[in-house]
Chain A
């Protein structure tokens, strides 16, 4: 290809409640243009969003650097981002949700931060002027995630971020974990920085989701907890649960047995069932942990479990607390 590489590729995974894409493109490309940056936009979308993506044709007819990747099966945001990143030509990648989270002025600021040496820069929506309901939900998510990770990031839920392309390549991403990309990148030892930017005026209104959405978020967070803490040592997790359960069961059995010795009949006491059930559950948990350990061991030689830092890009400095 003869054209030179743009400064930045903006990846827009079209998944949740998308807004009209042409307006999104115009709003978010404007500050990049003003900052004198070259860019391309890649929209990754499913065929059932044609009513939105068809309008992109008029943009590219006008010579705007817009590309569309259509994915034929529902694969989730993570896979869309990875697919788009695979064919991105920009030196820096930006992910931008197809709905309005933050003001467009955030993009040049993020880009500048990555070019100054950060591996990933993410928007911290601050000050929050949006509805109390939104802020409350955000707060809850952070309490949950912060409890797990130590909470070094202020805005985990924000999907507007800029990064070096190696971040997407080297952070193990699958399932719904793109949502937690900054956290996972931090864990891989990448230098993650935050850029404050106000909430987009269109996102001020309070939004309440269906119960299914909250349930899915909760499952995502539990998955994250397991991923961060126990994927290398499943027996510590299942073993703890299992030994607690079967310990309780064994204790109950012992009490029942002693009572039997003192003359109380055993066979007609339904609590015997509970005792046996607890022991059975506990043993099952430990057995699951052992299978997990076996899988970890069997694949240990095939996995890269640590990342070596390449040549330093900037002088060493103490890690941000």
Chain B
């Protein structure tokens, strides 16, 4: 006898952010339903990210199936926040995210979940035979992946692939903002200590609609990565973050002072030596003081935040000693 689907406590939540995908929504829902046919306990969370076409209407029409839910955002917030909205709504112990443009294949979901169950917190899909334009999509993506790998050291070859599986506990420890979805595995590793692996997934060419990304902007990526590295290394000790550069600046200041001393010895108190070098030295020392004070501000902010909301304990497993 078939078991009635448990709609309120699904084990698996599939989260799909949608922006102007009216042709794709119905196909997407059908594809997910087919792919998860054997799974008794799943839900599909569609997030309409302020679409200007009929996406929301089509998605809500699909809601006749109690396993399909739609969240409508008030405006277009971008993919990162749309995903976060979906994660906030998801009720499953395992959450899978994917794109709404049918380029990902829902039939990969069971494999992602199985891999997650074998002992990981995040499983990223990578597109083995990517069906996209080389110049505008593949090359920028390759550059971005290289930069992310070099700076974060997190080994994921395809950060741009949305098809990923997460444990609920991991998602609860990370709060996405800005464009953090662009390097979500590294973000998860930095802020939630996630154990990460990757498996190949299918990739189809776009059938309807237009692609939403253009050439990614390297500067924004670099700024976001700098933030990420700060979070990874100095999240709990802002004073160290600023203290180290402060020491460096102090060293430069002392160096300049010494240099001016030597110069004055050798050339006998020339006006320029007496002013330019010591003044430059003072600037470096000023910077050191300023950075130290900023570090203290960081400590204040950290303490305030922890007072307002104690952080979730990190994920840990007990193993036989």
Contacts and interface: CB of A to CB of B under 8 A. Distances in A.
Report, nearest first, the 7 A-B pairs whose CB atoms are least far apart.
Answer: A189-B74, A268-B272, A189-B75, A298-B305, A300-B175, A307-B74, A309-B72
A232 B178 contact: yes
10 contacts: A189-B75, A233-B224, A267-B276, A268-B271, A268-B272, A269-B272, A273-B276, A283-B249, A297-B227, A298-B304
Contacts of B270: 268
Interface stretch (A109-117, A129-137, A288-296): A288-296
Given A267-B259, A267-B276, A306 B85 contact: yes
A72 interface: no
A232 B305 CA distance: 17
Given A267-B263, A297-B231, A309 B74 contact: yes
Contact of A276 (B56, B284, B297, B301): B284
Given A189-B73, A302-B308, A307-B73, A267 B273 contact: yes
> Interface on chain B toward A: helix, strand, loop, or mixed SS?
helix
Interface string A254-284: 0000000000000111101100110010011
Interface string A23-45: 00000000000000000000000
Contact of A316 (B54, B279, B305): B54
Interface stretch (B125-133, B142-150, B192-200, B286-294): B286-294
B291 A309 contact: no
Nearest to B256: A276
B283 interface: yes
A305 interface: yes
B74 A188 contact: yes
Given A283-B245, A287-B294, A290-B230, A309 B52 contact: no
Nearest to B60: A312
A291 B297 contact: yes
Given A267-B273, A283-B245, A302-B308, 17 more contacts: A189-B50, A190-B74, A235-B227, A236-B219, A267-B259, A268-B273, A272-B276, A273-B279, A280-B286, A284-B290, A290-B241, A291-B301, A294-B230, A295-B301, A297-B191, A306-B73, A307-B75
Interface residues of A, number: 44
Contacts of B249: 280, 283
Contact of B294 (A280, A288, A308, A319): A288
Nearest to A236: B223
A241 to B, nearest CB: 12
Contact of B223 (A235, A283, A297, A300): A235
B36 interface: no
Contacts of A305: 77, 81, 84, 177
Contacts of B272: 267-270
B242 interface: yes
A136 B305 CA distance: 46
Nearest to B234: A294
A226 B179 CA distance: 17
A301 B175 contact: yes
B318 interface: no
Interface string B216-230: 000110011011001
Given A235-B226, A291-B298, A273 B238 contact: no
A239 interface: yes
A287 B245 contact: yes
Contacts of A309: 72-74
B280 A302 contact: no
Nearest to A296: B177
Interface string B164-181: 000000000001011100
Most A Cβ at <10 Å: residue of B71, B73, B223, B291: B223
